[in-house]
Structure 1
């Protein structure tokens, strides 16, 4: 059982994350990929994803076992990193002392491969391999389904905010589902181990997660920024492959449509090329067209180009996502 203790001040500092957290979705999906439960929701996705991820799984699965402890440094963002690049950079910047401590704790409950020792030392080459594995996993396992992931997470967020407006913070906490019970001033959550989290005025971020299953989860270190990651409802048949390019693809062309979707959360040219498996010059050419149409804006810093959808671009994405 997880028991989260609130003060009166904490009740005014509960907020719902603005969208899916990229690293939580990776961590939760890697764990879900190794499990057998939730067949109705995730079975088709598992069968689709497993043959696509041999290299990424070898590096990520040992760090994210299907049950029990997994290191907190793998999910540093808690909804506050606006882009995947920033989230991965935060992960790769973890202090070596923390890497050693968390990997040593993981080793007490799971058998780690030999390269984990160099990761614990903060070896630059091993950290780079981990970063590459995260990028590859995101591109192959999540990007093809990202529209649905984002849409279902945003739908859950809308339900939470409606609970908050109709009944205040207590209604928000009570509405988290059968695995969460609000017994003022404590929120009790079904959990595989006994854990006590005292908020002490820091508030709590509620993070809806598409791949969180079957019960809510949180960070093991109570000194870190408090977050409760919780499951959501899924659109039936969400993992079915797309038939055709979709309305935005027919309007802009499939590659430009995927690039515009990627800029919804922000991406660099390198990230976009990796996600779509096209060349950097091809990405730059398509981005030029999107920028000339007023759908994206580009910021150049330290020799890198970072692309973000404009209000017009976000409106176009929103129209596609909410199309019946």
Structure 2
């Protein structure tokens, strides 16, 4: 279980990141590519990346494992690719033997490249630079407008949620199982991790690639600064509609998911949603899963039928989104 202890000061010091960051999202993309959850959403995207990703990007698999519990030096908090690559190179002298042992134990490949990297071998660091550039050119750069759309729509929605329902509801919405025990934010699932913020505060950062339990890490201010909580954006990248959104609700959810939520002001079955929206049953399941994970709809089974309906939070979103 993840347990984050808040002081009263911390509860007043929760903010949102201003922008998505290219190398942070690159790291999340490499992680998402290796995961096997949310296949109904990421399956096709993963297949495309597997076919298109060049071989020189493979070294990143040794550094970025699918559980997301990775060394942060390869995911610096920088606004541009070139600044990020410079920050990665600058980290070469600060890597420790303990970090090498931990990374090598988790890596799927040979430890020889990692040992060369830790020994500041120029060829090894050139390989890392080339791998980061390759993944950025294929997975991040062409989709940056959609990544930003998912990020900013999520921040806009949770900012409204924070204003209307408070910080506890806002943080609980980051994961279906999240909740509070007094002033301790709790999310089920392993590995166990416990942290006291101690007045440093918390920065919230949605990622359109991450699919697991929220991740807690050092923020851009280092050990003495605010902690960073990265969580799955409400609309993952494969479900972000290309092109200009027609309104705030479409920007947040995508046109089809917004239409699903609007229909669910009245209870409907999966088959009725597929019929009314002229989409397939698997597509309905994708959209209802995303809406349910965000707490916007509830689902229950009645015999053979699966019934969906909007929650109070979902109705509030519809009202605020026009």
Q: Which category of TM-score, normalised to the shorter sequence, fits these structures? A: 0.5 to 0.7
- Could you tell me how far 1:18 is from its partner in structure 2? 1.5
TM-score by length of 2: 0.67
Q: 1:73 to 1:214 in 2, by over 3 A?
A: same
Q: Deviations over 1:141-189 (max 9, x none)?
A: 1222222221111110111111222233233223323132122311112
Which structure 2 residues correspond to residues 144-293 of structure 1 after superposition, within 5 A? 144-219=142-217, 223=223, 225=225, 226-234=227-235, 238=239
Paired residue for 1:121, among 109, 119, 122? 119
- Could you tell me how far 1:220 is from its partner in structure 2? 8.2
CA RMSD of aligned residues (A): 2.7
Deviates more, 1:195-204 or 1:220-229: 220-229
- Judge conservation of contact 2:7–2:198 (CA < 8 Å) in 1: yes
Q: Deviations over 1:4-61 (max 9, x none)?
A: 1111111122111122222221112112212222111111111211122132431111
Residue 12 (structure 2) pairs with residue 7 (structure 1):
no
The number of aligned residues is: 240
Residue 101 (structure 2) pairs with residue 100 (structure 1):
no
Name stretches of at least 5 consecutive residues in structure 2 with no aligned partner: 245-322
- What is the CA–CA distance in structure 1 between the aligned matches of 2:162 and 2:152, rounded to whole Å? 15
Q: Deviations over 1:98-142 (max 9, x none)?
A: 353322212233344211101112333322321221121111112
> Structure with the greater relative contact order (CA < 8 A, sep ≥ 6): 1 or 2?
1
Residue 115 (structure 2) pairs with residue 138 (structure 1):
no
- What is the CA–CA distance in structure 2 between the aligned matches of 1:192 and 1:220, rounded to whole Å? 19
- What is the CA–CA distance in structure 2 between the aligned matches of 1:167 and 1:188, rounded to whole Å? 18
- What is the CA–CA distance in structure 1 between the aligned matches of 2:68 and 2:15, rounded to whole Å? 27
- Could you tell me how far 1:96 is from its partner in structure 2? 2.6
Residue 76 (structure 2) pairs with residue 76 (structure 1):
yes
Name stretches of at least 5 consecutive residues in structure 1 with no aligned partner: 248-324
TM-score by length of 1: 0.66
Match of 1:87 in 2: 84
